[in-house]
Structure 1
């Protein structure tokens, strides 16, 4: 099945992969990037949605800027997108929102969808608010909506300052990888698997309205383990500098997904493990 798809955040890491997948499967895709429209401007954003006349919307746009009052306001507007559902045409049958695992509090056990919303940081708070607003607005309009809370996504084309690109760059250049002083763990999920979950959610007409599904592997890996895996798949020695990085606000000793709900609802299982994913990312350059 294909149709008319609107992808917000089409210029981002996951968005680029999703657009390529959809076009490869015959979808007519309108991709919105920051260069196309200011999604913090509700009038311009709503007009762009109406012009796209989509059958399905993939809401992937996200902002992290927060240094000033104006930046925080714009980030709230982009990450909550309160104008989105009201701008949808009658033909639209589904909205799939890419949420974030930072909407949850960190915990020692795998996080299921009933875990409390206790966002880690400003970004997580805006993403959680956007998920709730989408569910409420979509229910009022009778539009099927799904929120996919992705864990740590990685793969080719990721931002160069993120951990996997930094580690693989160090394997190429011999530079040291700056690491936080404390060990954190993350559930690393391949970008192609995340894209597959998005497409499945858009097409799953039996998915209950307002469904929330966690997208991860159920396996968490600490940073030294990730570096060691990267050494194996690249055949290169990687130097690290513990304590040279201040860490991230969302770092946690445990951060892992319970992916069973996505498997049961979508038939989705992650197909690429960390070693294979790092090897593919390394080969992609």
Structure 2
């Protein structure tokens, strides 16, 4: 029997790729989107059901119970992620509270499977590979809210029939990425022959193409695993190496100006994970 899946955040950077992967699998879909979603999603399968809501995080458990009626699996990828603001924004608390209301509604609706998208910065960061068993010690409001959601949902669903999976996403890049982020910034400047101002570039990350991330989350959501998993490649790469690879496409490594920006407090040195298998 084909599962019926509800996706939140389907118009977002990662959510669009989760949606595309589910469409490719011929999954029956219900999308929870804001008005104006057509500009971002375009044509969808005729079987795809649309539910418009201005703020999904402001809804009650009863509203969620009704909205989730007939749904087998919920993939919750929505969250506040405005570049430059999301790490410290008080809106993270709104997202956390709204997510808990969503989960209460899921229980009322007898949802079979609840899948949430977390973040690698829930972990205690250090020089080691991050695994689902690594201690959680987030240092930002964003990471703290995500970790709090994981703990709360783990407890809430533990004594119920609802399966719970938490997908911790590492460093996605690629199609549809906000222009202020590193990958589009590099392409924009290098293609135009403009200098690229960067920090030291020493920071090591686990970069993953957002299309691969979306496909992986979709596959995991439609599988049977529960608990926490990492959505990553397991391949360490410095920001310097990442930027240099892109500059080489244009033959303009000379435009990379490392050390011209100061590192900020969120520039953790090493974030590499053990990927879900």
Is the 2:3–2:27 contact (alpha carbons within 8 Å) kept by the matching residues of 1?
A: yes
2:202 is aligned to 183
Say what the alpha-carbon RMSD is for the aligned residues. 2.5
Distance change in 2, residues 1:101/1:143 (3 Å): same
| 2:168 counterpart (142, 149, 160) | 149
Q: Aligned pairs, how many?
A: 253
Distance change in 2, residues 1:75/1:49 (3 Å): farther
Give matches, 1:27-176, under 5 Å. Answer: 27-35=27-35, 36-43=53-60, 47-48=63-64, 50-53=66-69, 54-64=71-81, 72=90, 74-79=91-96, 81-88=99-106, 90=109, 92-176=111-195
1:3 is aligned to 3
Deviation at 1:111, TM superposition (A): 0.9
Q: Distance in 1 between matches of 2:160 and 2:218?
A: 22
Is the 1:147–1:213 contact (alpha carbons within 8 Å) kept by the matching residues of 2?
A: yes
- How high is the TM-score relative to the length of structure 1? 0.80
Q: Distance in 2 between matches of 1:92 and 1:241?
A: 51
Is the 1:92–1:143 contact (alpha carbons within 8 Å) kept by the matching residues of 2?
A: yes
Deviation at 1:191, TM superposition (A): 1.5
1:235 aligns with 2:250: yes
1:12 aligns with 2:17: no
Distance change in 2, residues 1:174/1:52 (3 Å): farther
Is the 1:85–1:141 contact (alpha carbons within 8 Å) kept by the matching residues of 2?
A: no
Deviation at 1:48, TM superposition (A): 5.0
Runs (4+) off by over 6 Å? none
Deviation at 1:52, TM superposition (A): 4.3
Unpaired stretches in structure 1, ≥5 consecutive residues: 264-285
Q: Distance in 2 between matches of 1:175 and 1:48?
A: 48
Q: Distance in 2 between matches of 1:39 and 1:245?
A: 38
Deviation at 1:128, TM superposition (A): 0.7
| Structure (1 or 2) with the greater helix fraction | 1
Distance change in 2, residues 1:244/1:2 (3 Å): farther
Q: Distance in 2 between matches of 1:46 and 1:244?
A: 52
Q: Distance in 2 between matches of 1:256 and 1:95?
A: 26
Distance change in 2, residues 1:63/1:246 (3 Å): farther
Q: Distance in 1 between matches of 2:235 and 2:10?
A: 28
Distance change in 2, residues 1:93/1:168 (3 Å): same
Is the 2:169–2:230 contact (alpha carbons within 8 Å) kept by the matching residues of 1?
A: yes
